[in-house]
């Protein structure tokens, strides 16, 4: 479906970029525009700019850019048409009804299938055949009420029970396989239930949709204790957090990060409604950004106390501090997970544990001391070296001061000496951070070049190509002047050549050529790259002199290509030319 220019203009007019972006991330005013910490890459200093006049955004760190539609597309992870629909709903504008919205249709269908499967599993849990599952859950101390709140269920020990039920509701085997509810047999080419003989935990997102499942094995010979939904258009394990829907409603500023689903549920039942868990993966940058973007300020890390759990804790601290979320580390003695701890010592003891949880810094201090004997000179100096390097990475000056005092006491040295060492290290680090930032911006440029891999081969011509495209996007009435002198073949790089042709065709047939209209045919990364062309040209005057320079660059390149004398030609080019001459002679 092609949306009309009028409709797109209405969508953009009724969704001011400031209103939309600020509903996701806090914006800071700078002049007539705004900046924010980029929601698309991890950073501490804001490099994403929101331009009010052009209603566009541009991140100097990662190159994400575009209009309000591209922002929603990237942030909500929707396709083009879904983003337009999202903004239409936000502004109360009805969508033109003529279907064709394949991505959204597929996602809606998948969510329907998941809901039906969820109902099936839940019902089965309370049937006689669901007894092993119900016994397991009650044995873990869950109440009927908790089981209902989390919609827990049971997948029977049967290869085709869910399949038959879902088929009877009109869902095809292929659709069910795409939703990760069925598997296809390699041998017989038939389909069978993906989850069997398992207690089922539905994954419910913050909008209340079931996006997937985790099944814990109860019997049978499947060696996998937990089995999770594979990646689907509605489930992505690197951003989904289990029970975030409940944690969000708990309206607290902190989260408790646990290892598994059962820990989270046990905590919920004990009154700690802000517990979440990652599913089948360690915490990722995108989990952390989710947490920060939803306004949580602190995460109490409550992972297993074994070696692997300690490693995961240190990792989570780093990832969360990158997005400005404070961390505390909970240390349990006498139990390996929160579930066992609460069963053994009660919920009051656990509440006390949270209250007494050491700050991430104390945890780090313990780690810095690990394996060192502070009574020896070597031990002491090694400890100081590690500590200074760590403290200088702590963003808050107040936290730094607290930490300096602790280290000075620990190592029995004057506080001023530690302070001085931290100061020196901080300075060195700032210098190297500045270098890193610069190289990340440059590599960000290189990343944009993945869109146009030939760009580095023709640096001068590419600047001209980009300039001409920017001119056309800004003032389509230059079309005549440009087309008179240039044909698409004069564009040396393929991406820009296709883009130019597309824009010329659109203007020629009287269509709108805004970034928003181009979004339908391009990926968000391509749109970011095109928005980059407009932005870099916005800083320069839109004069005909500049346009003529660009045209001249491309026409000169064309003439040079045609003029190349035999002496300048490579062997391949010579052979090609010889072929051409020969075939011409044959033809005549």
Instruction: Kindly list the residues in this chain that would bind Zn ion in the complex (CB under 5 A).
Output: 38, 40-41, 59, 61-62, 64
Q: Can you give the length of the chain in residues? A: 588
Least distance CB 62 / Zn ion (angstroms): 3
Side-chain half-sphere exposure of 142, counting CA atoms within 13 A: 26
Q: Which is nearer to Zn ion, 324 or 488 (CB)?
A: 324
Distance of closest approach, residue 187 Cβ to Zn ion, in angstroms: 48
520 neighbors 80 (Cβ within 8 angstroms): yes
Q: In whole angstroms, how close is the CB of 64 to Zn ion at the nearest point? A: 5
Between CA 357 and CA 145, with CA 301 as vertex, the angle to 5 degrees is 100
Least separation, in Å, of the C-beta of 531 and Zn ion? 13
In degrees to the nearest 10, what's the CA dihedral of 487, 493, 494, 496?
-70
| H or E segment and range at residue 353 | helix 347-356
Nearer to Zn ion, 38 or 319 (CB): 38
Exposure class string for 321-359: b at 16+ Cβ within 10 A, else e: bbbebbbbbbebeebebbbebbeebebeebeebeeebeb
- Between 312 and 533, name the residue whose CB sits nearer to Zn ion: 533
Q: How far apart are CA 588 and CA 586, in angstroms?
A: 6
Facing residues of 59 across strands? 48
Cα distance between the two ends of the chain: 48
Smaller CB separation from Zn ion, 357 or 533: 533
Among residues 40 and 550, whose Cβ is nearest to Zn ion?
Answer: 40
Between 22 and 555, CB nearer to Zn ion = 22
Beta carbon of residue 61, minimum distance to Zn ion (angstroms, whole number):
4
Of residues 41 and 331, the one with the C-beta less far from Zn ion: 41
Q: What H or E segment, with its residue span, contains residue 84?
A: helix 80-91
| Cα–Cα dist 211/111, whole Å | 6
CA atoms of 379 and 258, how far apart (whole Å) = 34
Strand-strand pairing, 182-184 and 153-155: unpaired
Give whichever of 288 and 365 is closer to Zn ion, judged by the CB atom.
288
Pairwise CA distance, residues 515 & 527, whole Å: 7
Rounded Cα gap, residues 314 and 3, in angstroms: 49
* Least distance CB 45 / Zn ion (angstroms): 11
Nearer to Zn ion (CB atom), residue 107 or residue 448? 448
413: helix, strand or coil: coil
Minimum distance of Zn ion from residue 26's CB (angstroms):
15
- Cβ-contact 215, 198 below 8 angstroms: yes
The structure tokens listed for 475 are: 């003032």
Q: Using CB atoms, what's the residue nearest to Zn ion?
A: 38
- Closest distance to Zn ion from the beta carbon of 570 (Å): 41
Rounded Cα gap, residues 278 and 311, in angstroms: 15
Instruction: Please give the structure tokens belonging to residue 63.
Output: 């190159």
Query: Cβ closer to Zn ion: 132 or 324?
Result: 324
CA 519-520-523 angle, to 5 degrees, is: 60
Distances (CA, A) of 51 to 16, 57, 88, 560: 11, 6, 22, 40
Rounded to the nearest whole angstrom, what is the least distance from the CB of residue 43 to Zn ion in the complex? 7
CB 201 within 8 A of CB 216: yes
Least Å from the CB of residue 241 to Zn ion: 22
Please report how close the Cβ of residue 450 comes to Zn ion at its closest, in angstroms: 16
Helix (H, G, I), strand (E, B) or coil at 35: strand
CA distances for 167 relative to 122, 188, 229, angstroms: 18, 19, 19
Nearer to Zn ion, 76 or 556 (CB): 76
Provide, rounded to whole angstroms, the least separation between the CB of residue 583 and Zn ion. Answer: 52
Between 61 and 212, CB nearer to Zn ion: 61
What are the CA-CA distances from residue 69 to residues 14, 65, 97, 566 (Å)? Answer: 12, 10, 19, 51
């Amino acid at each position: 479906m092609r949306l009309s220019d009028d409709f797109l203009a209405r969508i953009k007019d009724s969704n001011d970029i400031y209103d939309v972006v600020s509903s996701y991330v806090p914006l800071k005013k700078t002049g007539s525009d705004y900046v924010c910490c980029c929601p698309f890459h991890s950073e501490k200093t804001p490099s994403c700019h929101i331009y009010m006049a052009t209603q566009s955004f541009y991140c100097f760190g990662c190159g994400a850019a575009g209009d309000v539609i591209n922002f929603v597309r990237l942030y909500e992870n929707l396709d083009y048409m879904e983003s337009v629909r999202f903004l239409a709903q936000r502004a109360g504008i009805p969508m033109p009804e003529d279907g064709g919205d394949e991505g959204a249709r597929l996602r809606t269908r998948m969510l329907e299938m998941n809901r039906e499967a969820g109902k099936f599993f839940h019902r089965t849990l309370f049937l006689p055949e669901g007894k092993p599952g119900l016994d397991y859950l009650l044995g873990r101390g869950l109440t009927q009420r908790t089981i209902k709140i989390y919609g827990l269920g049971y997948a029977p020990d049967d290869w085709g029970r869910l399949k038959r039920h879902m088929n009877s509701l009109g869902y095809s085997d292929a659709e069910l396989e795409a939703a990760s509810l069925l598997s296809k047999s390699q041998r017989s080419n038939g389909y069978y239930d993906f989850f069997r003989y398992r207690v089922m935990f539905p994954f419910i997102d913050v909008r209340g949709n079931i996006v997937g499942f985790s099944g814990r094995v109860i019997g049978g010979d499947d060696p996998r204790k937990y089995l999770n939904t594979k990646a689907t258009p509605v489930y992505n394990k690197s951003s989904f957090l289990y029970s975030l829907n409940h944690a969000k409603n708990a309206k607290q500023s902190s989260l408790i990060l646990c290892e598994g689903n059962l820990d989270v549920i046990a905590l919920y039942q004990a009154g700690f409604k802000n517990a979440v868990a990652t599913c089948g993966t360690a915490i990722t940058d995108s989990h952390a950004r989710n947490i920060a973007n939803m306004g949580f300020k602190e995460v109490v890390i409550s992972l297993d106390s074994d070696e692997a759990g300690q490693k995961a804790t240190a990792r989570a601290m780093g990832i969360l501090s990158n997005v400005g979320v404070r961390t505390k580390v909970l240390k349990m003695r006498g139990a390996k997970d929160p579930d066992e701890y609460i069963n053994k010592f009660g919920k009051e003891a656990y509440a006390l544990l949270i209250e007494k949880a050491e700050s991430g810094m104390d945890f780090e201090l313990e780690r810095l001391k690990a394996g060192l004997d502070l009574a020896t000179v070597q031990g002491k100096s090694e400890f100081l070296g590690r500590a200074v390097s760590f403290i200088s990475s702590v963003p808050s000056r107040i936290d730094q001061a607290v930490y300096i005092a602790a280290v000075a006491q620990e190592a029995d040295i004057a506080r001023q000496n530690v302070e001085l060492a931290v100061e020196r290290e901080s300075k060195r680090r700032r210098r190297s951070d500045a270098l890193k930032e610069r190289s990340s911006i440059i590599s960000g440029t290189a990343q944009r070049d993945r869109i146009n891999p030939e760009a580095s081969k023709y640096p001068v011509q590419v600047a001209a190509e980009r300039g001409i495209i920017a001119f056309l996007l800004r003032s389509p009435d230059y079309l005549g002047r440009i087309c008179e002198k240039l044909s698409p073949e004069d564009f040396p790089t393929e991406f820009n050549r296709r883009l130019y042709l597309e824009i010329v065709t659109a203007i020629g047939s009287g269509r709108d050529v805004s970034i928003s209209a181009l979004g339908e045919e391009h990926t968000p990364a391509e749109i970011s790259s095109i928005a980059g062309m407009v932005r870099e040209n916005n800083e320069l005057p839109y004069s005909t002199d500049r346009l003529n320079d660009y045209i001249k660059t491309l026409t000169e390149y064309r003439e040079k290509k045609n003029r190349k004398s035999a002496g300048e030609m490579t062997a391949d080019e010579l052979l090609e030319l010889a072929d051409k001459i020969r075939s011409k002679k044959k033809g005549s």
